[in-house]
């Protein structure tokens, strides 16, 4: 199959690389000519504009957007709507607000186009580890794109089998799930990132407590031991142990922790649906507090965010941006 990618930032470029490594053909567009040239050197076809990208792809086309949420994505979709033909598929893989994705699906359908909102987790490690995909949209379109989607996910060997799943959909055990209609994929990714906030905050607070213990606790050694056989073992712990091994005091970090938007949306959704989420809300508020007075726990959060997503601490306070991984018209925003 052929895939057109718009936005070749930290995630978009590697998504295209991974499908190409599986034998699919890639067409690449980004406002950064160097990013396009890098993919061309690896076998992709380069495009100089959205119109050129569309012209290079045979119908029915599949075009994946990996851009910052908001105006840049809206503008790109509006331009594509005037270029594509009925039956073409637009995939929106950035961290867009789920209500926007539901609306965009209806707008695409009115033009005879298909739209999939695919919440994409895997960060800067996705090329090597694979991506977890949470998909919203028409089930038939999802099934038709299975060869591309299957090329992106980690596969069954990335986790132990779950008892009782023999009669269920096999795709979740590969690392991708059809969540429902348009909006459902980005809703699941929103909650995923809210949970991520809570898990990171709990780990960071525990490290801060151990650092203040009445003992000389070796945090690099303790976190390394926890990676094996512990109920708190996880990829986040792996990244934390690695950061502590290189710098036990995390002196590289100031502890100013950004929030990329999905945590706020998660708490907003909880209020709308009257669902109590005290841990997720507290984790979000802790990030706000870190911009006033940072602690070792905040440095640990910054280390984890850099580890999985390449997120750098802001030099000054910034407004939250929900993220995609590309830079077709604006600078890349962080993604997890």
Q: On the CB side of 220, how many CA atoms lie within 13 Å of its CA?
A: 9
Give yes or no for residue 324 having a pLDDT over 60: no
pLDDT attached to residue 327: 40
> Of 86 and 300, which is predicted with more confidence?
86
Contact 200/273 with Cβ under 8 angstroms?
no
Task: Tell me if residue 272 is catalytic.
Answer: no
Catalytic annotation, pick one of 92, 128, 189, 315:
189
> Are 160 and 198 members of one domain?
no
Percent of the chain scoring above 70 in pLDDT = 93
Q: Is residue 335 part of a domain?
A: no
Taking every pair of Cα atoms in the chain, the longest distance, rounded to a whole number of angstroms, is 67
In this prediction the pTM is 0.89
Catalytic annotation, pick one of 92, 99, 196, 315:
196
> Are 200 and 174 members of one domain?
no
Give yes or no for residue 140 having a pLDDT over 70: yes
> Are 123 and 247 members of one domain?
no
The number of helices, as runs of H, and strands, as runs of E, in the chain is: 14, 8
Cis peptide, bond prior to residue 144, ω within 30 of zero = no
> Are 284 and 298 members of one domain?
yes
pLDDT attached to residue 315: 56
Looking at the DSSP bridge assignments, the partners of residue 26 are 3
Give yes or no for residue 330 having a pLDDT over 60: no
Q: Is residue 327 part of a domain?
A: no
Q: Is residue 29 part of a domain?
A: yes
Domain end residue (candidates: 159, 182, 205)? 182
pLDDT attached to residue 329: 40
As a whole number, mean pLDDT of residues 185-193 equals 97
Task: Tell me if residue 313 is catalytic.
Answer: no
Residue 113: domain span: 2-182
Q: How many structural domains compose the chain?
A: 2
């Amino acid at each position: 199959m052929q895939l057109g990618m718009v936005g070749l930032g930290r995630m978009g470029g590697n998504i295209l690389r991974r499908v190409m490594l599986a034998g699919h053909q890639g067409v690449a567009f980004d406002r950064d000519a160097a990013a396009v040239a890098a993919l061309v050197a690896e076998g992709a076809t380069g495009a100089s504009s959205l119109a050129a990208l569309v012209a290079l792809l045979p119908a029915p086309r599949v075009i994946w957007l990996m851009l910052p949420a908001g105006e840049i994505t809206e503008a790109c979709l509006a331009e594509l709507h005037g270029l594509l033909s009925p039956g073409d598929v637009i995939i929106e893989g950035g961290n867009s607000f789920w209500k926007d994705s539901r609306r965009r699906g209806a707008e695409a359908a009115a033009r005879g186009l298909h739209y999939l909102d695919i919440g994409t987790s895997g960060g800067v490690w996705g090329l090597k580890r694979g991506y977890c995909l949470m998909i919203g949209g028409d089930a038939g379109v999802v099934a038709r794109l299975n060869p591309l989607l299957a090329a992106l996910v980690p596969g069954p060997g990335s986790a132990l089998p779950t008892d009782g799943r023999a009669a269920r959909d096999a795709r979740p055990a590969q690392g991708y799930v059809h969540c429902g209609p348009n909006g459902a994929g980005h809703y699941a990714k929103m909650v995923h990132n809210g949970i991520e906030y809570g898990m990171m905050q709990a780990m960071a607070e525990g490290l801060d407590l151990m650092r203040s213990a009445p003992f000389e606790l070796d945090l690099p050694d303790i976190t390394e031991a926890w990676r094996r056989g512990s109920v708190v073992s996880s990829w986040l712990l792996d990244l934390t142990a690695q950061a502590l091994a290189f710098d036990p005091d995390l002196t590289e970090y100031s502890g100013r922790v950004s929030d990329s938007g999905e945590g706020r949306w998660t708490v907003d959704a909880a209020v709308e649906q009257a669902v109590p989420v005290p841990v997720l809300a507290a984790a979000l508020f802790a990030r706000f507090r870190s911009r006033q007075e940072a602690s070792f726990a905040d440095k640990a959060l910054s280390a984890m965010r850099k580890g999985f997503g390449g997120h750098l601490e802001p030099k000054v306070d910034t407004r939250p941006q929900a993220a995609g991984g590309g830079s077709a018209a604006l600078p890349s925003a962080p993604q997890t």
